[in-house]
Amino acid sequence: MHPNGRKFFESKLSDRGAVVAEFGGFDMNALAEKIAVCSWSLQPGDLSDLLRKLEFTGISRVQLALDPLRENPPAWTNLKSEFHRARITLVSGTFGCAGEDYSTPETIRRTGGIAPDSTWNENLIRIRATAELASELQLKLVTFHAGFLPHGKSDPDFSKMQDRLAMIAQIFAERHIALGLETGQETADALAVFLNRLNAPNLGVNFDPANMLLYDKGDPVEALRVLAPWIRQVHIKDARRPQTPGTWGEEVPVGTGEVDWPGFFGVLKQLKFNGDYVVEREAGSQRVADVKTAKTLIERCLA
């Protein structure tokens, strides 16, 4: 078997009870089937680099950035067969939108997602190609940042964003793929109002507690309760709120920021959440080590 983080479990397969007992009665084999990592967190140059870094993390399940595959197919040739050989599971995908500028919260407000009219036609072309690629990979969930959503029906952009998201949701629905909106760029209440009104069956939420802090949009644990009906997947990422209004918060290794992890996992347990816990790390120079730290935190909180 490809070394993928299951060595510990495999060494004890002859004594399954020892595995369960060591972690307080929680079946770690089952837990391993819920932990994943974002491919872009590992900054892979190509497929072989991604496989090598996954081996170091001990995680065998991946949320895959789809833009590199669409933009540079030769670097990702035979991805499905290589993942199968290495026993790597694709749990979901993600894509970005054209023209996005994350320099400051204000620049991403102007340029983010599908909101700008200047990039809408280009984004629609990219989204159709991405949906086709996701279908070829047999993905069941794809996530993205839609951009800043209007906070009320009186906003002139409310109908525009509703129409655009309805169209995108339908593109993925035709391929039997669920679509998850990333959290953070608006409050949980505003997002809930938007989703309620849109009422697209395959449209849900990829909940990222750190984003709520980076954008300073409320308490992640309370937001989790508000958005519970739509949560399809969660990101495990940590952050601190901005020190100065209008600036970014700081992303930090999981367990060193302001996310209340016991509270976060406690709510997910109450909700009987059965989706994936996907580690994301978008800052720092010790990505593999930080991913492994996050994996350990998930195991401890759930066990």
First CA to last CA across the chain, in angstroms? 26
Residue 238 — φ and ψ, nearest 5°?
-125, 155
Supply the pLDDT for residue 197: 92
User: Which element (helix H / strand E) includes 65?
Assistant: strand 61-65
pLDDT-flagged residues of the chain (< 70): 1-31
Q: Count CA within 13 A, CB hemisphere, residue 267.
A: 20
Residue 253 — φ and ψ, nearest 5°?
-55, 145
CA distance 84 to 79: 8
CA distance 115 to 166: 13
For residue 179 the two structure tokens come to 């679509």
Q: Which residues pair with 29 in a beta bridge?
A: none
Q: Where are the alpha helices (DSSP H) in 112-178?
A: 117-136, 158-173
For 54-98, the DSSP string reads HHHHT--EEEEESHHHHH-GGGGTTHHHHHHHHT-EEEEEE---T
Burial of 222 (0-12, 13-18, 19+ CB in 10 A): middle
Supply the pLDDT for residue 30: 66
Supply the pLDDT for residue 27: 53
CATH of span 36-302: 3.20.20.150
Supply the pLDDT for residue 176: 97
Supply the pLDDT for residue 223: 97
**pLDDT tens profile 53-103:** 999 999 999 999 999 999 999 999 999 999 999 999 999 999 999 999 999
